[in-house]
Chains A and B, each alone.
Chain A
Amino acid sequence: MGKVVLKLGDDISTDIIYPGRYMATVLPTETPQYAFADYADFNAKVKQKEFPAQSVILAGKNFGCGSSREQAASCLKGPDFVIVARDFARIFLQNSINLGLRTVICPGIDASEGDELEVTADTVINKTSGRAFATVALPKARQAIVDAGGLIPYTRKRLGEKHGSAA
């Protein structure tokens, strides 16, 4: 369960999530300091680690549109946010899955900043309003990567099989 700590509209681009001017910073340990850098108040709280793990960023349609920059996912993975959105842009969604950032597709979600949300296997329950909203499951192919703990362990396993079969 987590509290909605930031509520956003539609078409939030990777330039909003992680501005291009910080792209020379690549390490996942360093990227969170620039998360939503142009939202000064929110960014300051991220830097001060004010948000507990699994705090929710709530967004509308097409969250993460734009660039393929992985920093946009890694900067949110560091503080362990959960992203609940009506839907996601493709590359951002894939990057999140690859890095293990929790993303929840919830087309009908209705919540306000400060509301407490509980994410179950197939719904998001707004504990504050008492309403529940159905979520859309990830395609199996993507879920397999999530279940493996991200793309690095998933690929490492395949690498082992490749070397195993060659031996």
Chain B
Amino acid sequence: MAMTMVEKILAKATGQSSVKAGDVLEPKVDLAMSHENAALVLNQFKEIYAGTGHEATVWDPSKIAIIFDHRVPAESSKTATNQKKVRDFVAKQGIAKFHDIRGDQGGICHQILPENGYVRPGCVVVGTDSHTTSHGALGAFSFGIGATEMASVWTLGTVLNVEVPGSIKVVVHGELSQYVLPKDLILYLIGRISAEGANFKVIEFHGPVIRSMSTSGRLVLCNMSVEAGATGGVVPPDGETVRYLREEAGVKDALDIFGPDEDAVYDQVVEIDASSLEPQIACPHTVDNVKPIGEVAGLKIDQVVIGSCTNGRLDDIAVVAEMLSGKKVASGTRMLVFPASSRIYLEALEKGYVAEIMKAGAVMMNSGCGPCLGVHQGALADGDVALTTTNRNFKGRMGNPNSGVYLCSPAVAAASAVTGVITDPRKGAK
């Protein structure tokens, strides 16, 4: 029987020739990722073993990755203590894929995994983070789970009782215009199908725009698939996937490259013409409250944030540096830039982007999640408006329920930082 991408991956992970949506399986896990919430996972992990007489030992330390990114450096003694507990656990269990708070190898989990070659096409990846959907960009079935479920994975090496999700095929035709970016495409899609339009399903991306898109852009699409409720997003792997893994992630071993069957069955097909797409803005307080930029242009902004697992990559920082070059961040507007990883930060430094950004008046921050989840590094005042390249604009998301968060692409964010109001980056462009 013809299979979608996720059906094929789950057939492989369970050693079956064929599976179909609705089947209940127990797939083997190729990579299990956690961040600071590993502190909660390890509590639950110990609880599973309590009273069994067995020593709590993870099933395979080489398949576990732990990356500190949500609150780095620690914003409180409580976080610091949790991080310390995790450090001790990592050492005891022999977990090598551990990225601590470091300037040479730290960063956001959803950048650390791809850039270190931890994710391969055709693999099953789980993470205690909803944006684990990101890694579908490399052709994996990658999805978010809770801490107790991760504790179960650490114990058994499988995910229990997984229902094979149905898939939505999204076909993107045409060509993106200048300063219209993958972020605009995914915001448009979420606005069109709604914040729960893909709940319990996988979004499978196809079409010429996807085929010509960089892995960095594909990560944006898969990352935000969860904002439409999707279990996962996935891009069938191709030459670009192999190029990225070989050239950027340093992967040398054999890769298993496969796509969905031509006649696979989808729950829904969504066709998009990218050529007519404009920059998009998700307005408070839901990610599907999406408007073309013309409808919100001119709104005054207090804080601009560039970064997060969605848009803190080198190409994002490049477009920001280009738009800020020789200009100044508007008086009355604060601008914070968080490279997604130390490696990206160093590359941005070498290419001169950091100097352009700082000379314009923006603040370069350390790699990490920053204010995206409202813990530290850029809380908002009552009444503040933030324009940000992050992924969520829920009420209170940036730490203050009396503020408004607008989501956009790096090009929109940078153009708007210069004017102090939401601005179309195509204005004044050649």
Contacts and interface: CB of A to CB of B under 8 A. Distances in A.
Contacts of A68: 127-130, 132, 144-146
Contacts of B152: 151, 154-155
Could you tell me the dominant secondary structure of chain A's interface residues?
helix
A90 interface: yes
B78 A154 contact: no
Given A26-B39, A38-B395, 15 more contacts: A15-B396, A21-B399, A23-B36, A24-B79, A25-B78, A68-B146, A87-B196, A89-B196, A90-B200, A90-B229, A94-B149, A141-B163, A152-B47, A159-B48, A163-B52
A69 B78 contact: no
Interface residues of B, number: 55
A142 B132 CA distance: 21
A151 B40 contact: no
A13 interface: yes
Contact of B196 (A65, A69, A140): A65
A21 B151 CA distance: 23
A130 interface: no
A70 B146 contact: yes
Contact of A95 (B36, B82, B146, B162): B146
A19 B396 contact: yes
A22 to B, nearest CB: 9
A155 B153 CA distance: 9
A15 B144 CA distance: 16
Contact of A98 (B76, B148, B163): B148
Interface in A122-143: 139-142
A140 B75 CA distance: 42
B161 A70 contact: no
A32 to B, nearest CB: 15
A91 B144 contact: yes
A103 interface: no
Q: Which 7 A-B pairs have the closest CB atoms?
A: A20-B373, A95-B146, A141-B161, A13-B394, A26-B40, A62-B196, A155-B152
A89 B397 contact: no
A68 B162 CA distance: 16
A145 interface: yes
A128 B235 CA distance: 50
A21 B146 CA distance: 18
A94 B374 contact: no
A38 B146 contact: no
Contacts of B151: 152, 155
A21 to B, nearest CB: 5
A140 B229 CA distance: 21
Interface string B343-374: 00000000000000000000000000000011
A66 B115 CA distance: 25
A158 interface: yes
A144 B161 contact: yes
Nearest to B59: A162
Candidate in A67, A145, A150 with the most chain B CB atoms within 10 angstroms: A67
A159 B40 contact: no
B52 A94 contact: no
27 contacts: A11-B195, A13-B395, A15-B373, A15-B374, A19-B374, A19-B396, A24-B75, A26-B39, A66-B392, A67-B130, A68-B130, A68-B146, A71-B40, A87-B196, A87-B199, A90-B199, A91-B145, A91-B146, A95-B146, A95-B148, A95-B149, A152-B44, A152-B47, A152-B151, A156-B52, A158-B160, A159-B156
Interface in B62-116: 70-71, 75-76, 78-79, 82
B244 to A, nearest CB: 26
Candidate in B47, B49, B71, B373 with the most chain A CB atoms within 10 angstroms: B373
A20 B196 contact: no
A155 B196 contact: no
Given A23-B70, A90-B229, A99-B148, A155 B160 contact: yes
Contact of A151 (B49, B130, B148, B231): B148
A98 B149 CA distance: 7
Counting chain A residues whose Cβ lies within 8 A of the other chain, the interface size class is 35 or more
A66 B145 contact: no
B37 interface: yes
B147 interface: yes
A163 B54 contact: yes
Contacts of B149: 94-95, 98, 151
Given A68-B128, A140-B24, A24 B71 contact: yes
Interface in B370-404: 373-375, 392, 394-397, 399, 401
A63 to B, nearest CB: 10
Contacts of A23: 36-37, 70-71, 373, 375
A155 B156 contact: yes
A58 interface: no
Candidate in A23, A62, A144, A156 with the most chain B CB atoms within 10 angstroms: A23
A165 B132 CA distance: 33
Given A16-B396, A140-B24, A21 B374 contact: yes
A139 B70 CA distance: 33
B124 to A, nearest CB: 16
Contacts of A156: 48-49, 52
A25 B76 CA distance: 11
